[in-house]
Chains A and B, each alone.
Chain A
Amino acid sequence: DQQVKQNSPSLSVQEGRISILNCDYTNSMFDYFLWYKKYPAEGPTFLISISSIKDKNEDGRFTVFLNKSAKHLSLHIVPSQPGDSAVYFCAASAGYGQNFVFGPGTRLSALP
C-alpha cells in the first residue's frame, strides 16, 4: 500500500512559467513533509520542508502548500528554469525521528 503518492509521473513546463507538483498521502499520522530534487547519477537534494502546524512555507522560488484535510501537498516553482529539470520526490514522516516515506517521484522538464 503506497502511503505517499505522486500521481503525475512527468510534467513539462515552459521556462518562466509556474511548475506545480502534487503529492497525496494516506497516513493521517504524517506530520512533517519534505521535497527533494534528484538529478541523474546524484543523490536527492533537499529543497524545502513543511510541518503540519503550517499550511505554507516559502524559500525563494519554491513554495510548498499543505492541505491537511485533503491529505495533499503541492510544490510551486516560480519562475521555472531549465536547471529545474529533474525528478522531484515528496517524503513524509510521522513524528520527529521517524523515517521518511517517499513517493515515486515526478519528472519535471522545464523547457527553454
Chain B
Amino acid sequence: DTGVSQDPRHKITKRGQNVTFRCDPISEHNRLYWYRQTLGQGPEFLTYFQNEAQLEKSRLLSDRFSAERPKGSFSTLEIQRTEQGDSAMYLCASSSGRQGAHEQYFGPGTRLTVT
C-alpha cells in the first residue's frame, strides 16, 4: 500500500484561473476528506465523501469550490476563479470507515499559490 497520494504537489496560478487537484486514497478506504491549511494553523475541514457520496461540506467551501469522487475511488477538488486568499496547502486524507477506526491518513498535500 503506497498511502494517500496527491497531484500536483505544487501549483502556481494567476488570479481568476481555475485549478483542479487530485487525491488517490489508500485502497479500500471508503472515506475521503479534504482539508485546507494556512501558515500557522492546523488543517481546516472542507468536505468529505463516503464512497461516492459527498456527506458534509464546511461553510468554508464557497460556491467556487467543488469536489467529486465519481467512482468512490479518487477525488478531485476544483477551485474556480481563484483568489489570492485561496493560497494554502490543500490536504487530502482517507480512513477505512470501519466501526471504531477513526484515524485519518493524510497525503503530502498540494500547495497552491495564487499570484
Contact = CB atoms under 8 A, between A and B. Distances in A.
- Chain B binds chain A: yes
Interface of A: 4, 32, 34, 36, 41-46, 49, 89, 91, 93, 96-97, 99-105
Given A32-B102, A42-B108, A104-B41, 17 more contacts: A34-B103, A36-B106, A41-B108, A43-B4, A43-B91, A43-B93, A46-B104, A49-B102, A89-B42, A89-B43, A93-B102, A96-B102, A97-B50, A99-B33, A100-B104, A102-B44, A104-B40
A97 B100 CA distance: 9
- Nearest 3 A-B pairs (CB), nearest first? A102-B42, A43-B106, A99-B45
A56 B41 CA distance: 27
Interface string B47-76: 010100000101000000000000000000
B109 interface: yes
Given A41-B108, A99-B56, A91 B42 contact: yes
Contacts of B93: 43
Interface residues of B, number: 27
Contact of A96 (B44, B48, B99): B99
B13 to A, nearest CB: 19
B103 to A, nearest CB: 5
A46 B42 contact: no
A34 B102 contact: yes
B3 to A, nearest CB: 9
Nearest to A33: B102
Interface string B1-25: 0001010000000000000000000
A41 B9 CA distance: 9
B7 to A, nearest CB: 13
Contacts of A97: 31, 50
Nearest to A93: B102
A41 B109 CA distance: 8
A43 B107 contact: yes
A103 B107 contact: no
